[in-house]
Structure 1
Amino acid sequence: MSDKLTQILDAARDHAMSVILPNVDAWNAAKTWPREASDAAGAAGLTGLYAPEDFGGQGLSLSDGIQVYEQLGLGDGAYAFALSMHNICTYAACGYGTDVFKNAWAHDLTSGRKLANFALTEPQSGSDPMRMYTRATINGDGTWTINGSKAWVSLAGEADIYFTVVKTSDAPGHKDMAMIAIPADAPGVSFGPRYDTPSYSFLPMSEMYLNNVVVSEDNIILPIGQGLQGSLMAIDIARVSIASGCCGLMQAALDTALSYSKNRKMFGGKTLDLDGIQWMLGEVATDLEASKLLYRKAAEALGTPEGPLMAAHAKRFVPDAAVKAANTCTQVLGGMGLLQPYGLDRLSRLAQMLRIVDGTTEISRVVIGRALQKRAAGLPDLPVPLGFGETTQTQESVAAE
């Protein structure tokens, strides 16, 4: 591990322990995004992880930078998720944006002075981006006029710019899709009522409405024809980032259970001395180690042909393991695990949320299943035993007699 990565991971862990964890309950009570916290994250170098140093970023690879969310997840998984989406947008801006756009936005994004988010999902389409209704019309002066709506937009009304996937015609398919960065203060941008999300109410989520929004061609991030491909890459990065954050969540749940059970007296000893408790927490520990290996392997595969499948494996396994870990650790505390000061109820709800965002675990199973079908097609056929779906002429004659 490089000295720079070690420094960034230490900064992320310190941010989780000193900024997120002591304040997250107050943030949820206030139902307000903690801008002072994300400003501090920017000052610590956590908002430009993959961006080049020339633009004020850290210049980390995806596989290195994604480890940051494991540390942030020790504090709160929803906060880690929001920063992961900002970093993905910053990565896209610095890597694919026009020179005019980069000069205007790059340093503000890498520093965290301005926040970005990604807008792909629509109210009627969910995980099916092919059913997209948001339209961008290219005007004679090169500007784009955009109409439509997006759903489940994170940092809704809080981010300064939204990297939005659009279609540029009514033709079916994805060959006309593009991605364009829409500033939050552009005329015609508005947001619906905030979704009611009790366990992460500090993170504003809502629908975003685009009514004749006019944006400069300088804001094109991915041109026509590259919108879907780029979006799928962003989703793969997000899925692995979520798996990373889930590992931090699992560690937080496990440490809470260990800290409690090592001193809880019952049946003439300590709770942690009971075989049953050790086995329960031992299973959580094994799942955590497996999850770390899996998300890091998936992070290394991003950008390669194996990337989408490995991201699906990580998104399928790790959030499920996090849900199980949070529930198991709650059980170890018994009734005390239901009380807010211990934080396990919050972790359980967060784990369930992370199973759903950026593609449910069922969507990941679809991706894995299709990969298995392709692999099966390349394997030699094995004979099917008689009587298992196929009959010979002899069998048919015997049956007739």
Structure 2
Amino acid sequence: MPTNIETIIEAARTHARDVITPNVAAWNASKKWPRAASDAAGAAGLTGLYAPKEWGGQGLPLSEGIQVYEQLGQGDGAYAFALSMHNICTFAGCGYGTEPFKEKWARDLTSGRKLANFALTEPQSGSDPMRMYTRATINGDGTWTINGAKAWVSLATEADIYFTVVKTSDVPGHKDMAMIAIPADAAGISFGPLYETPSYNFLPMSEMYLDNVVVSEDNIILPIGQGLQGSLMAIDIARVSIASGCCGLMQAALDTALSYAKNRKMFGGTNLDLDGIQWMLGEVATDLEASKLLYRKAAEALGTPEGPLMAAHAKRFVPDAAVKAANTCTQVLGGMGLLQPYGLDRLSRLAQMLRIVDGTTEISRVVIGRALQKRAAGLPDLPVPKGYGETEKPQNTMAAE
């Protein structure tokens, strides 16, 4: 009998093959989120991966559920990214939300009937959440009034609820941060113009504006003092999810190059008979296998002290490998690789996008560098060999004369 994760992975593979791949070009042309596709993902069990079964979820551990995006990424990395963020919010809502919130929202979120997304980044702060300006004022009746703006909000205008990180005072730092879920139909919520993106126009992204938005205290997901810590955990999950999706992207690029090279006639044989082509694609294949091992190990570490560092390793290495893979596979097709029907131009742009979202490659390097500093501090000093590293005294040549 197949296990639950095997069934879900097969469902994701089928969804990528039958729903995403044949339609993604049309989605991009229409510049509209494919709600019918995400509804189908929900029906297949792909929108409540980590949520408890009693709320309609699959109850998968993070280490297993994150593998779903590797399958979805073979269809489209941006689509996989959007579903990964929905699953993270659903996980938070079902795991940490109030009972009234879960009664109202949980089953709609796990089924995909309603979509959720995460709002942390602000226009002026980027990767520095300490400079957050969005404020929540707690009213006498327990409701929260929220003012501020968020940037790079995925599923903008499309999601039904936004898990939003706010500050509750003007005191510097993070001890007053909280997370509250804001319904899309709340009075005072609005969105700026949708960002124009090169190859994932079906995924709506924009700024979100909050003008005296009043939200019930039932919608508090993480109370005051836990907002930043919970957000960082969500970002770690997102980073590993992105690495998983990048593996699917790499597989799609490699398969496209192999399908082309095995039939392209050249120099008395096919492209794939040439050592140079084999070596190029062999390097992609090795990077793909290394990437799979790395993101799966990082997924297993989530929730442990090693989780943030392993997520940073995965987010630094795998999207970079995906960019390299997409470019290499484009090169294998030569001029044909520039044609849109082959899709490699789309994969190249997607890979670059996935290097940036939820923490750039450079931010991951900062996390890794700080971990190395801590490790270095705990290592013994190396002894300096005699005669090396000593300050030489200047010779008084005049005295010698």
Task: Give yes or no for TM over 0.5.
Answer: yes
Cα separation, partners in 2 of 1:218 and 1:337, compared to 1, 3 Å? same
SS at match of 1:130: helix
**Aligned pair 1:47/2:47, yes or no?**
yes
What residue is the counterpart of 1:334 in the other structure? Answer: 334
What residue is the counterpart of 1:398 in the other structure? Answer: 395
Q: Under a length normalisation based on structure 1, what TM-score does the superposition of the two structures give? A: 0.98
Which stretches of structure 1, 4 residues or more, deviate above 2 A after TM superposition?
383-388, 397-401
- TM-aligned CA deviation for residue 396 of structure 1: 1.6
What residue is the counterpart of 2:37 in the other structure? Answer: 37
- TM-aligned CA deviation for residue 386 of structure 1: 7.8
In 2, the alpha carbon distance for the partners of 1:54 and 1:222 equals: 21
In 2, the alpha carbon distance for the partners of 1:355 and 1:170 equals: 33
In 2, the alpha carbon distance for the partners of 1:83 and 1:385 equals: 57
CA-to-aligned-CA distance 1:313-365 (integer Å, 9 cap, x gap)? 00000000000000000000000001011000000000000000000000000
In 2, the alpha carbon distance for the partners of 1:2 and 1:375 equals: 43
SS at match of 1:157: coil
SS at match of 1:396: coil
| 1:307 alignment partner AA | G
What residue is the counterpart of 2:236 in the other structure? Answer: 236
What residue is the counterpart of 2:321 in the other structure? Answer: 321
SS at match of 2:85: helix
In 2, the alpha carbon distance for the partners of 1:155 and 1:200 equals: 12
- TM-aligned CA deviation for residue 391 of structure 1: 3.8
In 2, the alpha carbon distance for the partners of 1:324 and 1:364 equals: 18
| 1:314 alignment partner AA | A
- TM-aligned CA deviation for residue 50 of structure 1: 0.2
Cα separation, partners in 2 of 1:387 and 1:315, compared to 1, 3 Å? farther
| 2:395 alignment partner AA | V
Map 1:1-400; keep pairs closer than 5 Å.
3-384=3-384, 391-392=390-391, 395-398=392-395
In 2, the alpha carbon distance for the partners of 1:385 and 1:374 equals: 25
In 1, the alpha carbon distance for the partners of 2:379 and 2:215 equals: 51
In 2, the alpha carbon distance for the partners of 1:72 and 1:396 equals: 67
Give the percent of matched residue pairs that are identical in Structure 1 and Structure 2.
Answer: 87
In 2, the alpha carbon distance for the partners of 1:107 and 1:161 equals: 14
SS at match of 1:198: coil
Q: Under a length normalisation based on structure 2, what TM-score does the superposition of the two structures give? A: 0.98
| 2:255 alignment partner AA | D
CA-to-aligned-CA distance 1:119-153 (integer Å, 9 cap, x gap)? 00000000000110000000000000000000000
SS at match of 2:101: helix
Cα separation, partners in 2 of 1:387 and 1:97, compared to 1, 3 Å? farther
Cα separation, partners in 2 of 1:143 and 1:235, compared to 1, 3 Å? same
Cα separation, partners in 2 of 1:111 and 1:339, compared to 1, 3 Å? same
- TM-aligned CA deviation for residue 385 of structure 1: 5.8
In 2, the alpha carbon distance for the partners of 1:369 and 1:362 equals: 10
SS at match of 2:180: strand
In 2, the alpha carbon distance for the partners of 1:91 and 1:398 equals: 71
Cα separation, partners in 2 of 1:137 and 1:258, compared to 1, 3 Å? same
- TM-aligned CA deviation for residue 387 of structure 1: 8.7
- TM-aligned CA deviation for residue 400 of structure 1: 7.4
In 2, the alpha carbon distance for the partners of 1:281 and 1:399 equals: 64
Cα separation, partners in 2 of 1:188 and 1:272, compared to 1, 3 Å? same
| 2:139 alignment partner AA | N
SS at match of 2:131: coil
In 2, the alpha carbon distance for the partners of 1:294 and 1:177 equals: 32
CA-to-aligned-CA distance 1:360-383 (integer Å, 9 cap, x gap)? 000000000000000000000013
| 1:233 alignment partner AA | M
Cα separation, partners in 2 of 1:386 and 1:123, compared to 1, 3 Å? farther
Number of residue-to-residue matches in the alignment? 398
| 1:93 alignment partner AA | G
